[in-house]
Amino acid sequence: MRKSFTLLIITLAVMVCRPSYSHAAASLQDLFWRRAWPEMELQFNAIKKKSARDYSLMANAYRFQEKWSEAVRILESQAKNFPASVRPYADMTLLLGYENTGQTQRALTLAESLYKSAPNDLKYYAALAQYRINDAQGNPSAAYTALTRMLSHAVTDERKIYTLTRLVQHPANRNVNDHALQLLELQAGSKEAASVLARLKNPGNNIRVALGVHYHTVGDNQSALNILTGAQGRKAQYYRAWASSRLKRNNDALNLWGSLAVSGNSYAASSVTRIANLAKDKGMHDSCVRVLDRIARERRGNVQARALQSLVNLTGKSNTARRDALEAQILKSFPGTTFAFNTLWARAWRNLDARNYAEAVKLFRQCDAPGVNQYKRARILYWLAHAQALAGQNQQAANTLALLKRKYPLTIYAFLTGQKLNIVNGSNPNLSMKQTELEQWGFVYHAYLKLSRPKASTRELYRALHLSRWLGLEESYSEAKRLETLMTSSTTMYRQDLEALYPRPYKAIVDSACKQYGTETNFVWAIMRQESAFKPNARSWVGAAGLMQFMPATAKEEARRAGLAHYDLYNPNDSIRLGASHLSTLKKNLGREEYVMAAYNAGSGNARKWLREAGANPDLARWIEAVKFSETNGYVQRVSANLEVYRLLYNGK
């Protein structure tokens, strides 16, 4: 799937993501970055006195075209003339050339040399080549040694997961249980790791807990309950309670979560949230409220605040005196927190609805405390301006809206005020930097790896982003997100930056699926960006899977409607087709896109309930306020903003 993603992205990326190069450099540089391979080869052959860098650029050009024989021929004859700082990366490319031309013994010899002498950033890749070759040749012992080397040099979770997944399936693995446990802790849904540990007759407590979390993640609640019963520790108790809740053993769940919430730290606050959700189940309200009352009396700090907030929500309009007393306690004990924000926000809205506009203005201002994130602050400013206008404070309202558009230009609230962006072609020159040595010699992927290291500077990260797009890497969006605040802090933005933040991966599949089901392509990308960050193997803690994050039951029903007899949620084609079909179904049933967003996240039942409570045909801003689930509320805000940006970038609207 990674390869297909790369091929789809790369055609789009090369035209807009060309890193800068010196005009004084040889024209081969220009042709290389343009990927003008035929012209580059002609120019290379026409150069009578070729430099070592010319040879290196041409070898890498052949490498990108997968013309490995030509790349090997150049590197074998010329790499000795490369600088010492570049030579290991040339040898790594030569190693790949040997591997891809069937010269496996040469490849293995060079891989061993590189592993022992190359810089640390190459050791993982040298060991990876050893694993691939030995595994293909049926040398399990050597392949296992290579995997253990890979694990010792895997510095990212993705590399660790890749390596551990193969280690737990390897017949020569003498530490398979340890590796399986490591893998489950990184990827709770790993079936490979779980199948290894499930065979143990007397698993230790750590393994029982890891298996319990795995069964919870994949939705096997009875197995989760079985393995966690008798397991020790707060984590075991928390997930045992969750399994009990899913199996409708609500009293057991309440007792377990209540015990965690009343004392101790880990999982205490999360247990309060679970108890509040459990209170919505039939017959559980009063029991849950009693437990929450006890927590609010006996605990302090975040756990107490969360219990008080839950009691406010469960009390609602049924007992306004109790609600007001609980809110007063929150404001007194927890100023400047999310809990205080929620309280002030609710009070501001009660005053706005009661036409106490001056009081609403005061309360909306109080919501704007230090530490409020950009999405909340944009929401505050929008409704503050609305209240100011209703209170006759027209100039203050205009100033507030101007601040909103200037500080938070890509939020849905800025777009609701008629935001106009100045999108400049190209990339931001203020963040640019000169090519690194590895780029100048054509070793782009390794230049990218060095530039994107954890403690890289802003300019290095910006450079890495453009290299990742040039390479067509799946990681491009993640690289862009690291720089999002910097790249979107002004109403003047650069097209390459926005296209990196709002990409259109799998375009051919999306176009085809949307044409088939009558769904707007931008809507699919707006959803995909929020759901999975464009990662085809994404899996949420509740079990939603794939690019479009389908729960198994929803996927099964939508596949029936879409006519997909067989599907794989981790397959981009299947996930996108299910997503386009599901969006089409929701649009037919609910009408407006913002209603569809809420239903996609929280289910059609909740969306219809909020619609009934919101009244007839609420506008988008009012609809967001009608969405009562905090997660879904934020989801509608973000997807709405995503959709606006996609249309602006790619439709010219």
Predicted confidence at residue 370, as pLDDT, reads: 82
pLDDT digits (tens, 9 = 90+) for 349-372: 999 999 999 999 999 999 998 888
pLDDT digits (tens, 9 = 90+) for 271-318: 999 999 999 888 999 999 999 999 999 999 999 999 999 999 999 788
> How confident is the model over 337-356, as a mean pLDDT?
95
Helix, strand counts (H, E) of the chain: 39, 2
Predicted confidence at residue 562, as pLDDT, reads: 87
Length of the chain: 653
* Alpha carbon distances (Å) from 11 to 4, 14, 32, 264, 576: 12, 6, 15, 55, 20
Residue 539 pairs in a beta bridge with: 545
> How confident is the model over 513-521, as a mean pLDDT?
96
Predicted confidence at residue 5, as pLDDT, reads: 39
Architecture in CATH for domain 507-650: Orthogonal Bundle (1.10)
> How confident is the model over 382-394, as a mean pLDDT?
98
Predicted confidence at residue 39, as pLDDT, reads: 95
How many CB atoms within 10 Å of residue 300?
8
Q: Is the pLDDT of residue 653 over 50?
A: no
User: In the chain, pLDDT over 90 holds for what percent of residues?
Assistant: 85
- What residue type is assigned to position 182 of the chain? Q
> How confident is the model over 437-453, as a mean pLDDT?
95
Q: Which fold has domain 217-370?
A: 1.25.40
pLDDT digits (tens, 9 = 90+) for 119-142: 999 999 999 999 999 999 999 999
- Any idea where the domains of the chain sit in the sequence? 26-197, 217-370, 507-650
Predicted confidence at residue 23, as pLDDT, reads: 37
Question: What token pair was written down for 143?
Answer: 């392949």
DSSP state of 201: S
Confidence of residue 454 (pLDDT cuts 50, 70, 90): confident
pLDDT digits (tens, 9 = 90+) for 158-183: 899 999 999 999 998 989 999 999 99
Residue 32 pairs in a beta bridge with: none
Q: Is the pLDDT of residue 6 over 80?
A: no
Confidence of residue 490 (pLDDT cuts 50, 70, 90): confident
Predicted confidence at residue 638, as pLDDT, reads: 97
Question: Fold identical between 26-197 and 217-370?
Answer: yes
Report the alpha-carbon distance of residue 235 to residue 302 in Å, rounded.
19
Over the chain, what is the mean pLDDT? 92
* Alpha carbon distances (Å) from 75 to 85, 89, 107, 301, 610: 15, 11, 13, 64, 65
pLDDT digits (tens, 9 = 90+) for 58-103: 999 999 999 999 999 999 999 999 999 999 999 999 999 999 999 9
Report the alpha-carbon distance of residue 48 to residue 45 in Å, rounded.
8
What crossing angle do the helices spanning 604-614 and 593-602 adopt, rounded to 10°? Answer: 130
Predicted confidence at residue 116, as pLDDT, reads: 95
Confidence of residue 346 (pLDDT cuts 50, 70, 90): very high
Q: Which fold has domain 26-197?
A: 1.25.40
* Alpha carbon distances (Å) from 361 to 106, 263, 324, 344, 391: 74, 40, 19, 11, 8
Instruction: Tell me phi and psi for residue 244, to 5 degrees.
Output: -60, -40
Question: What token pair was written down for 109?
Answer: 């010899």
Predicted confidence at residue 248, as pLDDT, reads: 95
pLDDT digits (tens, 9 = 90+) for 180-191: 999 999 988 899
Q: Is the pLDDT of residue 266 over 70?
A: yes
Q: Is the pLDDT of residue 24 over 50?
A: no
Predicted confidence at residue 652, as pLDDT, reads: 62
